[in-house]
Amino acid sequence: MIRHVVLFRFKPGIDWNDPRAVEAEQSTAKVGSEVPGLHAWRCGRNVSTRAVAYDFYAEGVLDDIPAVDRYLTHPFHRRSADLWREIADWVVVDVEA
């Protein structure tokens, strides 16, 4: 099993008052039901006020790296990623679960 974790940090001038941020959040919340192959899906807003903290988190559990590749190329995932690309930078880690 692979745990796929993504942390998003808003670009300067973007925060949760921006409708684009809310749209990206809502789309990401639906990834678990729209993209096949995910055994688990979690996402949410950060509640920490620390300067090193990211703004949003998404995590999925998939069978293996080929399953991660299928997830990454799924049209719904790609649309969600495009929403984030406009407003945030992110880091990713894929680890064996």
Cα–Cα dist 49/68, whole Å = 31
5-11-87-52 Cα dihedral, nearest 10 degrees: 20
User: What was the pLDDT predicted at 97?
Assistant: 85
Sign of CA dihedral 10, 11, 17, 19: negative
Q: What is the pTM (predicted TM-score) of this model?
A: 0.93
How high is the mean pLDDT in each 10-residue block of the chain (97 residues)? 98 98 98 97 97 97 98 97 98 96
- 39 φ/ψ angles, rounded to the nearest 5 degrees: -80, -25
Q: What angle do CA 85, 87, 89 make, to 5 degrees?
A: 60
